[in-house]
Amino acid sequence: MGSSDADKLADNHEKPQHWLTLPNYWIGKTPLTNAQFRPFVEGDGYTNIEYWTAAGWAWRIKEKISQPAYWEDAKWNGANQPVVGVSWYEAVAYVRWLSAKTGHPFRLPSEAEWEKAARGPDGRIYPWGDRWDAKRLNSGIFRIFFGKLNPVGQYPRGISPYQVLDMAGNVYEWCATKQGKTYPYKLEDEWTQSYLAGDATRVYRGSSYGTGKRGARGAVRGFDPPHWCFLARGMRVASDGDAPHRSVRLPAGKLV
């Protein structure tokens, strides 16, 4: 996990590179789509307090939030496009809603789980390897003004060693992790009520359609307040137990 000194594009908070052993988990093969998020919007997702943290519910009431930002914008609301404009509060509420509706315990991935899924056991810089290749992802520094989201799964040549798609480019993704974890990364349960409580700044990972070579690296760490609803910010679902289809199981083992 993290970046070595050989990666000249790395920031200090990505270091030192270190070994980390994770338990088994499942992670979504692609980011969550608008079609998958729609039942939450049209059902009781925004009206049932049971899915929300106390801080998230207070924010939702104050801001009168009833759907993601850009939900009505045709440029961003295609069924197979990743859902964007979701705050961390909404991401947490969605996975709690999904768990309640399916009877299966879903959650957001931790920062470490996200990175393992993106980089594999050999700590590669990009999901496909150590060499930059702009043809393997929806990304580019000029696309922030002129680009657009692609439907999920459009870059099979950018797949990670664990067969996970879209870990670079298209959208950033919220993780459960709080800002402030230093490296070496110490494992803790990041899905307890106490860990999710409050308004602490949270981690997002990945990169967007407007990111370049440096920002698309798998070790890049981003942090934002939990109420931010950024245009290119989405989510990916994870789980501890055997999950339904459209997920990839990652075995226990070391991540470098």
**Residues 77-108 pLDDT 10s:** 999 999 999 999 999 999 999 999 999 999 99
Mean pLDDT computed over every residue of the chain:
92
Residue 141, pLDDT > 50, answer yes
| Class (C level, CATH) for 12-255 | alpha beta
Residue % of the chain over a pLDDT of 70: 91
d(CA 225, CA 88): 8
Tens of pLDDT, residue by residue over 41-55, are 999 999 999 999 999
Which residue pairs, CB below 8 angstroms and at least 24 apart, start in 201-204? Answer: 201/225, 201/226, 202/88, 202/174, 202/175, 202/176, 202/177, 202/178, 202/226, 203/111, 203/174, 203/175, 203/176, 203/177, 203/178, 203/179, 204/172, 204/173, 204/174, 204/175, 204/233
Does 256 have pLDDT greater than 50? no
The two structure tokens encoding residue 148: 């657009």
Sequence-distant (6+) residues with CB within 8 A of 248 are 26, 27, 28, 29, 117, 162, 163, 164
Query: What confidence score (pLDDT) does residue 140 get?
Result: 80
Q: What is the pLDDT of residues 149-169, one digit of tens each?
A: 999 999 999 999 999 999 999
Q: What is the rounded distance in angstroms from the CA atom of residue 62 to the CA atom of residue 148?
A: 31
204: nearest Cα among 242, 180, 233, 184: 233
What is the model's pLDDT at position 255? Answer: 40
Would the pLDDT of 246 be above 90?
no
What is the structure's pLDDT at 242?
Answer: 66
3-state secondary structure of 250: strand
pLDDT at residue 70 is higher than 70 = yes
Q: Above 70 in pLDDT, residue 252?
A: no
